Amino acid sequence: MKISELFNVSGKVAIVTGGSRGIGEMIAAGFLANGVKVYITARKEAALIEKANELSAKYACECIPVPCDLSTMEGMTNFVNFIESAEEHIDFLINNAGASWGEPYAEYSEKGWDKVMDLNVKSIFYLTQKLTPILKTKASIDNPSRVVNIGSIDGLNVPALESYAYGASKAAVHHLTRVQAKKLVGENILVNAIAPGPYESMMLGAAVNHDYSLIESRNPRKRIGSPEDIAGLAIFLCSRAGAYTVGAVIPSDGGLVGTAGHDLSQI
Q: Which residue out of 166, 199, 212, 244 is catalytically annotated?
A: 166
Quote the Cα angle for 225-201-52, to 5°: 105
The closest of 23, 65, 15, 29 to 45, measured between CA atoms, is: 65
In which region does residue 84 sit, left (phi positive, over 0), alpha (psi from -120 to 50) or beta (all else)? alpha
Rounded Cα distance between 35 and 29, Å, is 10
Rounded Cα distance between 108 and 7, Å, is 44
Catalytic, 166? Answer yes
Rounded Cα distance between 53 and 38, Å, is 12
Q: Return the active site residues.
A: 166
